[in-house]
Structure 1
Amino acid sequence: MHRDFKHSRPATTSGFTLVELLVVIAIIGVLVGLLLPAVQAAREAARRMSCSNNFKQLGLALHNYHSAYNELPMHGGGTHPTVATHPWVNTTTGNNMRLSMLVGLMPFVEQQGLWEMIANPNDFDQDGTIDFPAMGPTPENIDYVPWATDIPTLRCPSDPGKGLPSLGRTNYAANLGDSTDYMRDGYVYVRNDSSVLPYAATNATAQRTNAAHRGFFIVHKSSQFRDVLDGLSNTIAMGELTTDLGDKDARTSLTSGGTYSTNNNHWTIVVTPNWCEQHLDPERPQFWRPEAPIVGATSGRGFRWASFNPTFTMIHTVRPPNSEICSAGAVNRNNLMSVSSRHQGGAHVLMGDGAVKFITDSIEAGNQSNRMVYQWGTAAFNNSPGSASPYGLWGALGTRGAREVIDGEF
């Protein structure tokens, strides 16, 4: 008997083979590897643009302040305590002439509410007794709300620093020029026998300050745009800084003690601006050596926007951008403060005319071993009062009246 058999075919399914799947995964991996750096670069570009915009707002605030008061906000201004002491002494009866120029800008950067708190007496614990006078206590006081407040306009989004042990952080600081001599005290008589208020200037302090304070701002002294003889477009008003993260970054933390600081001898820095360079870690030159001791936890760069102290709100145009900062032993002494940032290859500066420029780390910075300009400088050392800056284009941009010619772009 003949039978017809129908040939059956095995059922087929569509899909990737293992080899095809591995190829697809490999391609996706390559694409992700190519895309992530581009995404990260785009994010940083956006953060850098936002940082620049903050600086432009501060530039506009400076000009509006000058239009309103016909002067610049004082760096090292404020109120006296009830009993005569020294500007570096903490007190709750006044801010002891220790406020930064940023405090005066608050009404001009949309911080009117905060300014009202600062400008009026404050009952901190709501017990009916005034705890802090108008313009507040000295800037280290954590109980005073304004000093502990982070101001968005003062923060660069590329900088991740936040919270204690800082109070209100800032990434923008006043330019004090190309010399650190008498930087903390400038223009007022504050010796140990100071017993009268207000702190007064003397011929000696005035001569010393006039010789060394060559930047856009002058400690404890009011100034105007007309004092910028080199022209607003040729003179840096403020510079960017990166705040301390507690990681011994040489741009943000101060060394102390023994051979690692100049032990309150600020002349070491004045005559050898690159003195602290020897203490950098040779394997990681952005950081101090592992054994280097660091000044106290609350002394990090940019930790108090309200304080005029060099470590918090000053920059100098001596060491190139992103160089180490150099300590005279404590946060409130005549320390040398460089410009710095978390951006790649440089940092922003605000020019006197309100323009924001990005200065690269490789800007021409003259002779880094040359003595700073100060009252007793000499022509032999290229640092007599009134001399052109020894620190090249970078130093020239930081001085307001040395008549250096700025030619070309920077």
Structure 2
Amino acid sequence: MQRQTVSDPRVAFTLVELLVVIAIIGILVGLLLPAVQSAREAARRIHCGNNVKQLGLGMHHYHATFKQLPIHGVGPTNENTNDTALADKRDGTAFTRLELSYLVGILPFIEQQALWDQMSRPMVEADGDRWPAFGPRPWNGHYPPWATEIPTFRCPSDPGVGVPALGRTNYAACTGDGFYDAEHGVTIWDGVRWRYNSDSDARIRARCGLRGAFVPRKRMKFRDFLDGLSNTIAVGEIITGLGDRDNRTVGFSNAKGGFFEVANHPKRCFDLGYIDPQQPRYWIDSAKVYSSVSQRGFRWADFHTLQSQFNTILPPNAEICLVGHSDTYGIAPPSSHHPGGVQVLMADGAVRFISDSIEAGNVNTPCVYCIALSARKNSVTRAGSRSPYGVWGALGTRASREPIQANF
């Protein structure tokens, strides 16, 4: 019996049959890819949640050791000057200007003892640079620890890497449902000397407007959380800048008024019309974006608003609206690359996912603030009042006595 060969038309594929097979394979691949991408993002989100959990464990271990939370806005400083140029000097006389974030203090409690040991001693580098213990202010990229990437501080869903950032972070401290005066907190430089929680105006301003788990430059303890640890957000996600116009990572410098214009109207930057209608997560091209070297999460060691703080005024993934340049205070929501929301750390150590659509009250209500600026004005939203920003605002406050009954 004669064997059939491949060239036998009775067993060969026709061109139409081949095209049909290719088309079916293409359809199957098209159906499979989104599922693969979704599975990968789910894995990244779990990894990110584990990092948040590690920060929670570190915070609780820190509190158990020192009977307080790590201070946000701390570090050795020069008692005779607050000059930024002197703070950056590379001759061993630099100082931090009390600008170090809570992430610095937590290092030994998240398995970063080696980095902590390096920082806590004076350093002399091969190129001749000399640094005191805990180095210069956290802007200075010549100091090796500030440029160190720490895996626990990074969410794997965030693609940001490298310069112009130093060491990036995706996890910021919650300062509550206000922002005055998050750049100074309770300790200020009065032009002559530091006033450590001793300036009456600074203390009133912080008590009035900084109602979150962290108050800059102040020792916070779990006993301060009168709303309960399980009802108070301590840490939340932020995305880092990618050098684009993402309105969650950069502000714009077109005229938008000053402090009162933003504090009295949290949606001011949105209402000015600088959001791209085709891409709502971006500023339009005509909006002058702030410096590319200072964007969200670019410096994990830096306590300033854009770098490692967030507030619960606008809901997650809303736009940033800073009062002045890139390192001033303002509206700074959390943000993430996870679909639909952000992960937060509650003060009791639980990790929760907060939807972008969480009930956030009236976002056009003025923030609470007291004796603001030289005008010494008070907000129409009274000090001590419940948060005007709904469940979202209530989760950001530690002691405003808001009952939280909604499932968030």
TM-score by length of 1: 0.91
The percent of aligned pairs where both chains have the same amino acid is 47
1:6 equivalent in structure 2: none
Residue 22 of structure 1: CA displacement?
1.5
Q: Quote the Cα distance in structure 2 between the aligned partners of 1:388 and 1:88.
A: 42
Match of 1:304 in 2: 299
- CA distance in 2 between partners of 1:402 and 1:197 (Å): 30
Contact residue 79 and residue 193 of structure 2 kept, 8 A? no
1:280-311 deviation digits (Å, cap 9, x = unpaired) = 11221111111111111111100000000000
Q: Is the 8 A contact 1:375 1:385 kept in 2?
A: yes
State how many pairs are aligned: 393
CA distance in 1, matches of 2:296, 2:8: 69
Match of 2:263 among 260, 270, 273: 270
Distance in 1 (CA, whole Å) between partners of 2:174 and 2:233 is 7
CA change 1:381–1:103 in 2 (3 A) is closer
Shift of 1:86: 6.3
After superposition, the C-alpha distances for 1:151-188 in whole angstroms (9 at most, x for unaligned) are 10010111000100000000000000000111101212
- Does residue 294 of structure 2 align to residue 293 of structure 1? no
Per the alignment, residue 182 of structure 1 pairs with 181
Structure 1 residues 62 and 131 mapped into 2: Cα distance closer, same or farther (>3 Å)? same
**Greater gyration radius:** 1
1:358 aligned partner: 353
> Which secondary structure does the structure 1 equivalent of 2:184 belong to?
coil
Letter aligned with residue 41 of structure 1: S
Map residues 320-331 of structure 1 onto 2, 5 A cutoff: 320-331=315-326
Higher mean C-alpha deviation, range 99-108 or range 278-287: 278-287
Task: Deviation per CA, 1:1-24: give whole Å up to 9, x if none.
Answer: xxxxxxxx9983633222221111
Using the TM superposition, give the Cα deviation of residue 44 of structure 1 relative to its aligned residue in structure 2, in angstroms. 0.7
User: Which residue number in structure 1 is paired with residue 224 of structure 2?
Assistant: 227
Q: Distance in 1 between matches of 2:188 and 2:237?
A: 30
Distance 1:206 1:402 in 2: 17
CA distance in 2, matches of 1:20, 1:232: 65
Using the alignment, how far apart are the partners of 1:356 and 1:89 within structure 2?
41
CA deviation profile, 1:73-130 (whole Å, cap 9, x unmatched):
0001111126322689843421110000000111111111111111111112365xx7
Distance 1:38 1:223, change over 3 A: same
Structure 1 residue 45, shift from structure 2 partner: 0.6
Give 3-state SS (helix, strand or coil) of 1:358's partner.
strand
- Helix, strand or coil for the counterpart of 1:297? coil
Q: Give a deviation string over 1:360-384, Cα, whole Å, max 9, x none.
A: 110010111101112259xx97611
Change beyond 3 A, Cα 1:253–1:218: same
Give the Å deviation of 1:408.
3.5
- The answer to whether the aligner puts 1:125 opposite 2:126 as a matched pair is yes
The answer as to whether partners of 1:185 and 1:219 remain within 8 angstroms in 2 is yes
Which runs of 5 or more residues in structure 1 are unaligned? 1-8
**Residue 392 of structure 2 aligns with which residue?**
394
1:144-293 alignment runs, 5 A limit: 144-191=143-190, 194-197=191-194, 199=196, 201-256=198-253, 258-259=254-255, 261-262=256-257, 265-278=258-271, 279-293=274-288
In 2, Cα distance between equivalents of 1:189 and 1:98:
12
2:375 aligned residue: none
In the other structure, the counterpart of 2:21 is 24
Structure 2: give runs of 5+ residues left out of the alignment.
373-377
How far apart are the structure 1 equivalents of 2:119 and 2:111? Answer: 14
Q: Give the match's secondary structure for 2:344.
A: strand
Q: Is the 8 A contact 2:153 2:168 kept in 1?
A: yes
CA distance in 2, matches of 1:172, 1:143: 23
1:106 equivalent in alignment to 2:107: yes
| Residue 199 of structure 1, CA deviation | 4.8
Q: 1:5 maps to which residue? A: none
Residue equivalent to 1:4: none
Q: Deviations over 1:220-262 (max 9, x none)?
A: 1111011111000000001100111111000001111x42x43
Aligned residues: CA RMSD? 2.1
The answer on whether the counterparts of 1:181 and 1:266 sit within 8 Å (CA) in structure 2 is no
Q: Please identify runs of 4+ aligned residues in structure 1 that moved more than 4 A.
A: 86-90, 197-200
Separation in 2 of the partners of 1:396 and 1:347? Answer: 17
Residues 257-278 of structure 1, C-alpha deviations (whole Å, 9 max, x = no match):
x42x43xx22222111111112
1:176 alignment partner AA: T
Retained in 2: the 8 A contact 1:216–1:228? yes
Secondary structure of the residue aligned to 1:319 is: coil
Kindly provide the amino acid, as one letter, of the partner of residue 220 in structure 1.
Answer: R
Q: In the alignment, what sits opposite 1:339?
A: 334
- Aligned-partner Cα distance in 2 for 1:66–1:216: 13
SS of the equivalent of 1:238 reads strand
**What SS class does the counterpart of residue 57 from structure 2 fall into?**
helix
Letter aligned with residue 296 of structure 2: R
Please list the CA deviations of residues 7-57 of structure 1 after superposition, one character each: whole Å capped at 9, or x if unmatched.
xx9983633222221111111111101001100111111111111111000
